[in-house]
Amino acid sequence: MPQDIGRVLINIYNNAFYSVSEKLKKHKTGYEPRVEVITKGHGQKVLIQIRDNGLGISSKFLDKIYQPFFTTKPTGEGTGLGLSLSYDIIKAHQGELKVDSIEGEYAEFTVELTYD
């Protein structure tokens, strides 16, 4: 399981770093890129939250982000498989992958896993 969860986290980190980098290109002054990772134990669950203050995700795309080959990145910069594979991996481990976002402000992904 550690390798699977590692793949999920790398995919989410890569998206977060891309988002803050793209926002920095648009806002040369007054913007400080930030990616935060918070881990919590909550009963029989482990929560891993990854939040960035990048471009955020448009509400019109939120229901599509886990679909294979869906990407908002320009051609050649993304395959559209990262979040799809991440979602499948987390579901295979009886977990949940949730997203909260406001376009232009932030994106936050929460990985929720149950343990015995």
Residue with tokens 């990262």: 82
Distance of alpha carbon 14 from alpha carbon 86, whole angstroms: 12
The helix/strand/coil state of 4 is helix
SS3 82: helix
Q: Which segment of 67-71, 73-77, 81-85, 105-109 scores lowest on mean pLDDT?
A: 73-77
Predicted confidence at residue 1, as pLDDT, reads 72
* pLDDT average, residue stretch 43-69: 94
Whole-structure pTM value: 0.90
Q: Which two tokens stand for residue 72?
A: 């908002």
